[in-house]
Amino acid sequence: MNKRRTVATASMVMAGVLVTAGCGAGGPSAGGGDFTDDKVVLALLNDASGVYKDVSGPNSKIAIQMAIDDYQEKYGDEAVVDDIEVTSADHQNEPDIANTKAQELYDREGADVILDVPTSSAALAVATQAKNKKKLYMNVGAATTELTGAQCNKYTFHYAYDTWMLANGTGTVVTEDGGKNWQLIYPDYAFGQDMVKSFTGAIEAGGGKVAGTIATPFPNDNFATYITKAGAAKPQVIGTMHAGGDLINLVKQYNESGLKDQGIDLAVGLMFISDIHSLGVEAFEGTIFTDAWYWNLDEKSREWADRFMEETGDRPTYAHAGNYSAALQYLEAVQAAGTDDADKVVEELEGKKVEDMFLRNGEIRAEDHRVIHDVYLARVKGPADVKEDWDYEEIIKTIPAEEAFRPASESGCSM
């Protein structure tokens, strides 16, 4: 969707966006820079038709357009660029396709920044293109810590979440609550492999043990054999490292397996509110998981979520909210730099502290380009506790930004 929409009031925008560093003077000549083709192009690259469609998919294009609208509403005639476009492509969760689409977006469509890119193998392929072409890339949808680790680069930033954050929350809490003996089931590609590594570290640090790991194809719809194999080992906890449609299928089949009645719990490594909505709270009731953002966290989140729902008919996942925030902070950096020159925009982003609708106590770390922020330990409500549609989560703990993500000193990133 490329059309612009009217934003109700300027106060709505300002309530949702408070930038505490990196602001620049307005006006078309601010920063003395210029713009490629006299415009800025934001490109969304994600799964538009497969297992991750509901997690982010086409609705993230609407979230990005909302960021453009809010930027234009905030700066008006003082905006350094008037022509801002958003384009999109479907990578089908394939790294080769992601690689080709990234090249096309940068070279043919003039993308100044690529956003989102779920599926870790695809995300890493795009990071390589960003590095080679010296173009901005703000990943929201992938979980691999390699983006801010050994494969980090000057032009790649990692928003929202990663496997270290998920394991540090869920893995630690479940282990400390008595789940000491684990079997992990994971999709056999970069995301799943990284999840196993991160969760094993957190479980062992909490005094637990991963007694076995079981790889599954990706994507997949039949998990019965893998669940049976994990259950045969008699663990206290089976941890699933899947997401999106794969997670939904696995949870269905776990609930049908009878393992829950045998006292074998299921821990979910990565979950979005769209997953809960698909199966219903009954399927996930009581599940503890780590969330990067929740639409009903507070009035600021809900206000934005109401706007999103008016456009899409759905409540936003944290991927939708993260894409909004990433797009908005990119535009704020362009405003400060007065140009879409990638090197100058990077300078504005590095070290920036941000407080917006999505990022609470946010900071874009200069050392590894990990965007840190408060995250939340959540529990899925029971049916009796759900007061309105989509209100499925109880936030039981806020994990402060400085504790939620891997320390930069341990990242292994060298730029």
| Same domain as 281, residue 225 | yes
| Same domain as 169, residue 139 | no
Contact between 317 and 56 (Cβ < 8 Å)? yes
Contact between 143 and 120 (Cβ < 8 Å)? yes
| Same domain as 170, residue 209 | yes
Burial of 40 (0-12, 13-18, 19+ CB in 10 A): buried
pLDDT tens sequence across 33-74: 489 999 999 999 999 999 999 999 999 999 999 999 999 999
Peptide bond before residue 235 is cis, with ω within 30 degrees of 0: no
SS3 of the chain: CCCCCCCCCHHHHHHHEEECCCCCCCCCCHHHCCCHHHCEEEEEEECCCCCCCCCCCCHHHHHHHHHHHHHHHHHHHHCCCCCEEEEEEECCCCHHHHHHHHHHHHHCCCCCEEEECCCHHHHHHHHHHHHHHCCEEEECCCCCHHHHCCCCCCCEEECCCCHHHHHHHHHHHHHHCCCCEEEEEEECCHHHHHHHHHHHHHHHHCCCEEEEEEEECCCCCCCHHHHHHHHHCCCCEEEECCCHHHHHHHHHHHHHHCCHHHCCEEEECCCCHHHHHHHCHHHHCCCEEEECCCCCCCHHHHHHHHHHHHHHCCCCCHHHHHHHHHHHHHHHHHHHHCCCCHHHHHHHHCCCEEEECCCCCEEECCCCCEEECCEEEEEECCHHHCCCCCCCEEEEEEECHHHHCCCHHHCCCCC
| Same domain as 309, residue 222 | no
The answer to the question of residue 13 being in a domain is no
**pLDDT value at residue 21:** 37
| Same domain as 221, residue 137 | no
Domain count, the chain: 2
- Amino acid symbol at 341: D
The answer to the question of residue 412 being in a domain is no
Q: Which residue has the tokens 């991927």?
A: 319
The answer to the question of residue 16 being in a domain is no
**pLDDT value at residue 3:** 35
| Same domain as 259, residue 185 | yes
| Same domain as 248, residue 390 | yes
| Same domain as 200, residue 124 | no
CA distances (Å), origin 134, targets 47, 106, 126, 156, 398: 24, 10, 12, 9, 36
The answer to the question of residue 101 being in a domain is yes
Write the CATH number for 230: 3.40.50.2300
**pLDDT value at residue 34:** 87
| Same domain as 71, residue 154 | yes
| Same domain as 142, residue 60 | yes
Q: Residue 94: give the domain boundaries.
A: 39-161+297-369
**pLDDT value at residue 286:** 94
Q: pLDDT truncated to tens, each residue of the chain (415 aa)?
A: 333 333 333 333 333 443 333 333 333 333 334 899 999 999 999 999 999 999 999 999 999 999 999 999 999 999 999 999 999 999 999 999 999 999 999 999 999 999 999 999 999 999 999 999 999 999 999 999 999 999 999 999 999 999 999 999 999 999 999 999 999 999 999 999 999 999 999 999 999 999 999 999 999 999 999 999 999 999 999 999 999 999 999 999 999 999 999 999 999 999 999 999 999 999 999 999 999 999 999 999 999 999 999 999 999 999 999 999 999 999 999 999 999 999 999 999 999 999 999 999 999 999 999 999 999 999 999 999 999 999 999 999 999 999 999 999 999 999 8
| Same domain as 328, residue 283 | no
**pLDDT value at residue 163:** 97
The answer to the question of residue 207 being in a domain is yes
The answer to the question of residue 415 being in a domain is no
| Same domain as 149, residue 173 | no
The answer to the question of residue 351 being in a domain is yes
What is the spatial distance between Cα 89 and Cα 105, in angstroms, rounded to a whole number? 8
Contact between 318 and 289 (Cβ < 8 Å)? no
The answer to the question of residue 268 being in a domain is yes
pLDDT tens sequence across 355-373: 999 999 999 999 999 999 9
**Residue 288 in tokens:** 């503890």
